[in-house]
Structures are given as C-alpha cells and as structure tokens.
C-alpha cells in the first residue's frame, strides 16, 4: 500500500446478451414480429389477413410458447434457440371441387385451381437419442356411409411436412439422422374403419425421393408405419395412387378363434387401381411395416403370453408371430412384418403355472421368455426367479431369440461343457460368432 491516499475506480461494462433468430413464416402482416431476441423475451407476432382464407392457428418448429396460438395477433415467448413460427391458414371454399381444411389437399378433388392451404404440422419430441426428426401433419378425415373414414394425401401436404422437418433439422443441427413423417388423423366419432387413406402418386414419390426414414399413419386403433425400404417397394410395385385401408374382421372360423378369441383382428390392405380393379401390394420384399393394435388384456390373461397373430386371407388358420410383443405402458400389441394382410392379437395359454412368480417384480418378463421357449422353469410349478443365471443359460436364451438352428452347431469347443448339455449348441453359436 502506498503512503499517499489512493482512489480506486471500478468500471462496469454491460455483458453481451445472446440473441436468437425468430423467423415468422406465412405471415401477411406488414410487421410480422420476426427478428433477433434474447431467450424469454415476449415477442408480439402478427399473421395479418389473407383473401379467401381464415387464420387457423400458430405452430412452432421447436420450443417456445404462444399466449394464444389461435389468435392472429399474439405473443410468443422466445426459447434459447433459433426458431420458426408458422401462421397456418384454412381456405374458405366457395363450394367447388375443393375441400380445404388443415389437411392441405384442397385442390386435389377436381376443378378448383386455387392455391391449397398451408398444412398444419408440428415437430414431435424425441423419444430416444439419435432418432430422425419427426414431423406430424394434422389431417382431418371425413366419414362416409357406415362409418368408413376416407381422405386423400396430396403431394403438397407431404411436401409441407417434409419442408418443416428439414428446416427444423437444419436449425437444430440434427440432419445426420434424417427425417420421418407421420399423419396424425382426426377421425369422426364412431368411425368404424379407415375406408381409404389415398396417397397420390406425387405424395409417394416425394416420400421416397426425399429418403424419409419412416412414414406413419396414426389416429385409429391400428397404427401402421413403413420403413424406408417398404416405401420404396410400394412405390416400385404400384401404378398411380396407392390406397391403404384398415377394417375390422368380424367372422373367423373355429381354428382361428382358438388363437384370437374375441380379441381384435384387422384386414389391412395396400392397393392401387389397374383397369378399374384393385391390385393388392402384400409382399414388401424385405421392407418392414410396424403395426400396433390397441388392446386391453383381460384380467385373466398373462401379458407375456399375448402375441401378434396373422390370419390367412379367407379367415382361416391363425398363426402367432414370433418377435411380436405387448407394450404394457402404451396398451398396444406391436407387430413387425414384411407381409401385409390380416393381423390381430392372439394368445397362447400358459403351459406351466409357476407358483413362485405370482408377486415377483419380473413376472411379466418371465411370462414373455417362457411363452417363447427362451427359458424354462426348474420344474412344472417353479421358475426360481432369484436363482443366478449362468453364461450357458444366457447364450441359450439369446440363441433361441435369434432363431439359431441347433443342428448347425454340432461341435464342442470347451472341455467343461457336456456333449449332451442343452446349452452346448448355443454356446458353440456364441463362441463361433465371437459373442463370448
């Protein structure tokens, strides 16, 4: 410290505040509210007005929230990321061939050449890391006689959805995992069946040419999703538009009823018209369709013994589908298949009644592995759920799950494995595949 008095002055400088870009799409206002804002800022946004259209609400490509998403002028709370908000519009049809509405296919039905309204879309939250960016297009479906719901999915609707997903993926730096699209259907009350979801030729071309990872139709008790290869195969086989129909199957023969009982079964078809006749596309040639069927198990049903089931074209024999599984959290049966026709929920009566698992935390998982013969119990009435699992038991369960052919592994590479051990072929399989 110096001997003379000293004055120290503190100088302050404002810390720079990070700002993010707000893009306002499809606004017709002179001042839409677009600009750069700090996170948490309440931004006034305006849609304006548009001839022959009614404002249909705001949607956002990412985070952030609206004070009133149904108001053409509202405030938006800025998130800590670049974001796009979109003003959606509904075409006020004058009674010609156009349907208008949020589905975005107003000019697909005939004489009207008026611009189709903007599709209402939303980015779905991620359920797991590294999944594709998924966009849902909101589609209102009309019902005809006998409760059959129908709609047409146009090139414009699919293009709007894909553009939304690609824009969001680019903004968020998530392009490497690709995009997926979903149709989120709003169905009339008491809809009996999806009499026809028609994908126009341009819509299917757009899905395939863009390389979407999956395309899902959601909103009915049955949901169906096609992977990229399945979409390519449908596109290769069809001529013109493709129609997807989902209808309940009412009449089953005695053999099928033994497997299905009163559980739901649906006739699912993919078809196109040729010379005025529908041509089915059933074999996806290695492409995968994932079908989920809503179902609430009976109180006497063990969830692990529920299966997806396939019923032949004439309502004949039903076969249980290996690899199908019941999701207890979502309340639905999940079936992955490369062949489309009649699918439902089946049940396999337990062959063993284990008295030591009734209140065990792993009961449902035990039922699952026993029903599929991946593991067996220690006796007809006991499973011994707390017994330690050996390496032999583990690779046997994995081998059976993988469908390993025991006869293909007739050697024995280990001196401590008995030749007649039921685990031996699966141990050989795991050893040859370098799994152990």
pLDDT band at 52; cut points 50, 70, 90:
low
Given its phi and psi angles, is residue 289 left (phi above 0), alpha (psi -120 to 50 degrees) or beta?
A: beta
Domain end point (choices 92, 126, 159): 92
Closest CA relative to residue 261, chosen from 220, 313, 320, 304: 320
Phi, psi of 26 (to 5 degrees): 60, 30
Q: Is the pLDDT at 269 greater than 50, yes or no?
A: yes
**pLDDT above 80 (res 8):** no
pLDDT at res. 114: 28
pLDDT above 60 for 106: no
pLDDT confidence band for 97 (50 / 70 / 90): very low
Mark whether 385 and 414 lie in a shared domain.
yes
Which pLDDT score is estimated for 67? 85
Do 263 and 166 share a structural domain?
yes
Residues 320 and 417 in one domain: no
Domain of residue 204: give its range. 103-347
List C-alpha distances in Å: 264 to 98, 143, 363.
36, 22, 25
Q: Within this chain, do residues 119 and 69 fall inside the same structural domain, yes or no?
A: no
- Does residue 73 lie in a domain region? yes
108 and 94 Cβ atoms separated by less than 8 Å: no
Boundary (domain end) residue, out of 66, 92, 118: 92
By C-alpha distance, which of 359, 356, 370 is closest to 304?
Answer: 370
Whether residue 336 is found in the same domain as residue 368: no
Q: What is the mean pLDDT of residues 253-278?
A: 88
pLDDT of residue 2: 65
Would you state the pLDDT for residue 113?
Answer: 27
Does residue 171 sit in the same domain as residue 255?
Answer: yes
82 and 110 together in one domain: no
Q: How confident is the model at residue 90 (pLDDT cuts 50, 70, 90)?
A: confident
Report the C-alpha gap between 183 and 153 in whole angstroms: 9
Residues 40 and 165 in one domain: no
The pLDDT of 52-66, averaged and rounded, is 82
Judge if 374 and 329 occupy the same domain. no
Q: Are 265 and 293 in contact (CB under 8 A)?
A: no
Same domain, 214 and 326: yes
Say whether pLDDT at 184 is over 80.
yes
Q: Read off the pLDDT of each residue in 297-315 and give the average, rounded to a whole number.
A: 81
- Looking at the fold, whether 386 and 340 belong to one and the same domain comes out as no
Whether 249 and 282 map to the same domain: the answer is yes
Residue 117 lies in a domain: yes
Lowest mean pLDDT among 126-135, 198-207, 212-221, 355-364: 355-364
Does residue 1 lie within any of the structural domains?
no
Query: What SS3 class is residue 143?
Result: strand
Half-sphere exposure of 235 (CA within 13 A, CB side): 21
Residue 270 scores a pLDDT above 90 = yes
Domain count of the chain?
3
Q: Which residues of 248-282 are buried (b: 16+ CB within 10 A; e: fewer)?
A: ebeebeeebeebbeebbbbbbbbbbeeeeeeeebe
> Mean pLDDT across the stretch 214-233?
93
The better pLDDT of the pair 211, 370 is held by 211
CATH, residue 30: 2.60.40
Q: Does residue 9 sit within a domain?
A: no
Q: Is the pLDDT of residue 313 over 70?
A: no
User: 101 falls in which pLDDT band (50, 70, 90)?
Assistant: very low
Residue 327 lies in a domain: yes
């Amino acid at each position: 410290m110096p001997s003379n008095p000293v004055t120290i002055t503190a100088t302050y400088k404002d810390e720079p505040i990070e700002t993010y870009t707000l893009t306002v799409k499809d606004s017709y206002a002179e001042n839409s509210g677009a600009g750069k804002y700090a996170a948490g800022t309440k931004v006034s946004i305006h849609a304006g007005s548009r001839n022959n259209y009614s404002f249909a609400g705001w949607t956002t490509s990412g985070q952030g929230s609206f004070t009133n998403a149904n108001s053409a002028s509202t405030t938006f709370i800025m998130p800590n990321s670049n974001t796009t908000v979109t003003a959606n519009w509904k075409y006020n049809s004058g009674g010609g061939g156009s349907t208008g509405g949020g589905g975005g296919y107003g000019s697909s039905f005939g004489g009207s050449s008026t611009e189709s309204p903007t599709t209402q879309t939303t980015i779905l939250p991620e359920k797991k890391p590294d999944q594709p960016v998924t966009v849902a297009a909101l589609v209102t479906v009309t019902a005809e006689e006998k409760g059959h719901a129908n709609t047409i999915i146009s090139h414009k609707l699919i293009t709007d959805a894909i553009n939304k997903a690609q824009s969001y993926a680019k903004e968020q730096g998530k392009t490497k995992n690709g995009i997926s699209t979903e149709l989120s259907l709003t169905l009339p009350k008491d809809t009996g069946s999806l009499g026809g979801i028609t994908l126009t030729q341009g819509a299917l071309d757009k899905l395939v040419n863009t390389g979407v990872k999956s395309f899902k139709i959601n909103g009915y008790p049955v949901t169906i999703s096609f992977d990229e290869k399945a979409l390519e195969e449908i596109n290769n086989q069809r001529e013109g538009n493709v129609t997807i129909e989902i209808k309940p199957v009412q009449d089953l023969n005695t053999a099928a009823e033994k497997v299905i009982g009163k559980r739901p079964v649906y006739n699912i078809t993919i078809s196109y018209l040729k010379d005025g006749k529908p041509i089915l596309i059933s074999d996806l040639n290695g492409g995968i369709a994932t079908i989920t069927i809503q179902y609430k198990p009976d109180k006497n049903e063990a969830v692990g013994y529920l299966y997806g089931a396939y019923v032949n074209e004439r309502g004949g024999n039903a076969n249980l589908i290996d690899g199908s599984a019941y999701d207890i959290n979502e309340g639905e049966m999940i079936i992955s298949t490369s062949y489309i026709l009649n699918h439902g929920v089946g049940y396999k009566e337990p062959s063993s009644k284990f008295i030591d698992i009734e209140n065990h935390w792993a009961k449902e998982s035990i039922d699952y592995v026993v029903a599929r013969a991946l593991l067996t119990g220690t006796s007809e009435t006991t499973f011994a759920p707390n017994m330690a699992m050996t390496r032999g038991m583990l690779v046997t369960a994995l081998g059976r799950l993988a469908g390993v052919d025991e006869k293909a592994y007739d050697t024995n590479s280990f001196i401590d494995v008995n030749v007649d051990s039921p685990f031996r072929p699966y141990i050989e399989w795991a050893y040859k595949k370098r799994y152990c």
